[in-house]
Amino acid sequence: MSGLDGSGLSVYNGPMLSLRDLHLQVPAMLAPMAGVSDLPFRLMARKFGCPLAFAEMISAHALCLGNGRTNRFLESSSADRPLGIQLLGREPEHLRRAIDLVEPGSCDVIDLNAACPVRKVTRKGEGAALLKEPRLLSKLVALLVARASVPVTVKIRSGWDHSSVNAREIGKRIADAGADAVCVHGRTRSQGYGGRADLGVIRSVKEAVSIPVIASGDLFSAEAVDKMLRETGCDGVAIARGALGNPWIFLEIAAVYEKRPSPPRPGIEQLKAVMEEHLRLSVERHGEILGVIDFRKFFIWYTKGLQNARILRPKAVRVNTPDEMRSLIDELPNASLVRPASFGLPRVSIRPASGIGSTVDSGWPC
């Protein structure tokens, strides 16, 4: 747990974040991202200390229909624990059946998405649209809590738009319904991923509820995480875009929490080794063709900020074999410098490979 003392400095006591019997000594988790949070990506984050990772958001309705592509999102391994599953839906029966399908034993946390801003989700009354129906959201949370044998959390936004910021009210309803934690993204649905996250809204939720509050938004470095914790008093953070091409962010966050000097940023040889390992896992998971196609976007994220690497990125989106991708990784200039911890969002717009699929467009937090 964390809070603020009179000086505004972070205060940490005992287990940093507890969700029933699940204790995270470093209160940071990998958030679900559409078209990104597959098993290889999660395993790479765990290699650098990520204590809890979420699979891609799953439609409860699609899960109930036995959609094969959706079922692939549930695939995991013994090294991929503890694991969170985020469900999308508004129909009680769909969510009830989805819980039965993902339990028992396949995950350690169930999260209900009430935050996704994508139009093809909200027009169905799902995702962030649930912020406009607090009573329904409360009923859905209570249903999940009663049905699930693992901790239940809920992801929300600050509100639907600037005229209806209701995260504090929603957070209280979620807590009253029995949820184990609430994750707050400090932007409204209308903001999407533009502008800046409102830390004041997150703090208002923290002040209103007794359950853990997990903060999300603009967390691209350990310094940003430290600021979030100090200014909101939140109990933990969910890292999304800040982990793209940057799995060592979890080592840096751990150093902040443990009051140690931040570890040095990786050199070019370590970066190459990490990229090659990620590529290997992607090929093992998706096959040679789809594995390479899926890794293309990660090549761009990993190399953002590297000197003289720009000329290689157009080649990366055209390679088709593992050997071609490994050769491209070997071409990364030895004089390059890995981007500093404060470097901003790596921007890329590449859809997932055909056959991998996603509920929403690739690369955005759910």
Q: What is the pLDDT of residues 197-208, one digit of tens each?
A: 999 999 999 999
Can you tell me the distance from the alpha carbon of 60 to that of 77, in angstroms, rounded to the nearest whole number?
Answer: 22
Across residues 75-96, what is the average pLDDT?
A: 96
Share of the chain above pLDDT 70, in %: 87
pLDDT category at 335 given cuts 50, 70, 90 is very low
H or E segment and range at residue 250 = helix 249-257
For residue 59, give the nearest of 101, 10, 22 by alpha carbon. Answer: 101
Can you tell me the distance from the alpha carbon of 73 to that of 92, in angstroms, rounded to the nearest whole number?
Answer: 21
Looking at domain 268-330, its CATH class is: mainly alpha
116 is catalytic: yes
- The answer to whether the CB of 170 falls within 8 A of the CB of 133 is no
For 262, how many CA atoms within 13 A lie in the half-sphere containing its CB?
17
Residue of 70 and 164 predicted with greater confidence: 164
Q: What is the pLDDT of residue 357?
A: 43
Q: Among the options 50, 64, 107, 116, which is catalytic?
A: 116
Beta bridge partners of 238: 29
Res 234 pLDDT > 50: yes
Helices (H), strands (E): how many in the chain? 14, 13
Residue of 104 and 70 predicted with greater confidence: 70
pLDDT category at 18 given cuts 50, 70, 90 is very high
> In the numeric block, which tokens belong to residue 59?
């439609």
Q: What is the pLDDT of residue 307?
A: 80
Res 56 pLDDT > 70: yes
Q: What is the pTM of this model?
A: 0.89
Q: What is the pLDDT of residue 344?
A: 52
Q: What is the pLDDT of residue 4?
A: 42
pLDDT category at 366 given cuts 50, 70, 90 is confident
Per this entry, what is the length of the chain? 366
CATH topology of domain 2-257: TIM Barrel (3.20.20)
Q: What is the pLDDT of residues 266-324, one digit of tens each?
A: 999 999 999 999 999 999 999 999 999 999 999 999 999 888 888 999 999 999 999 99
Q: What is the separation of C-alpha 228 from the centre of its chain, rounded to a whole number of angstroms?
A: 16
Q: What is the pLDDT of residues 256-269, one digit of tens each?
A: 888 888 899 899 99
Can you tell me the distance from the alpha carbon of 15 to that of 191, in angstroms, rounded to the nearest whole number?
Answer: 34
For 118, how many CA atoms within 13 A lie in the half-sphere containing its CB?
17
Q: What is the pLDDT of residues 181-231, one digit of tens each?
A: 999 999 999 999 999 999 999 999 999 999 999 999 999 999 999 999 999
Q: Give residue limits of the domains in the chain.
A: 2-257, 268-330
Q: What is the pLDDT of residues 145-174, one digit of tens each?
A: 999 999 999 999 999 999 999 999 999 999
Contacts with 105 (C-beta within 8 Å, 6 or more apart), sequence order: none
